[in-house]
Amino acid sequence: MADLRAPAPEPATELGRYRVLSSTAGIRVSPLQLGAMSIGDAWTQAMGSMSKEESFKLLDAFHGAGGNFIDTANHYQNEQSETWIGEWMAKRKNRDQLVIATKFSTDFGSYKLGKGKAPNHCGNHKRSLHMSIRDSLKKLQTDWIDLLYVHWWDLTTSIEGHGQSPSPCGTGHGAIFGYFGYAGMGCGSGKFICPSPWKDTLQYLPGQMECPAP
């Protein structure tokens, strides 16, 4: 029987030297996060993209080198990013080894329903959050999201409105369809965050960009 007290072997690369995500989020993550906005081929005309085969090779290389932290969003590449990551995790059977971050706020419905026909597929309100988490869980083929970001402030949903949405523990409204472990802010000003009922968990995390307040 292996000695349970023996130290872990040295990682193959520095990606495998995990660290605590933040002072209030004890989950262990690789020091670099793989940004998945280019995973997909729907946005070829606007920005970089890659085929599903190339995407799987990238994900395999990142995970094989020790990386476990992947960032995506509900709308990246017209939802292909989350979908392909979900397919990759299902094929590799490695969901429990990964920390998946995704985001809501941006419109993820108009590209398929038509402009003006998806007014509640964006923003920070409860309905947008509910549909986004519901669909992200399906696309990612998972029961939970490790880190859910507010992608940007919509300037119409109040701080109190954010606090009444599902808690980071997965209770309340969010318990209908799954849960997320931690909440974060993708792009915004700290002055909006401090008064929030999520103030102990909604925070800037290492490596996140701070954008100027509108």
- Which amino acids are annotated catalytic? 76
- Tokens (6 digits) for 84: 């392909």
Dihedral-angle region of residue 169 (phi above 0 means left; psi in -120 to 50 means alpha; beta otherwise) = alpha
Give the Å distances, CA to CA, from 27 to 64, 146, 208. Answer: 20, 9, 17
Helices within 17-74 (DSSP H only): 52-64
User: DSSP character for 11?
Assistant: P
Enclosing H/E stretch for 148: strand 144-150
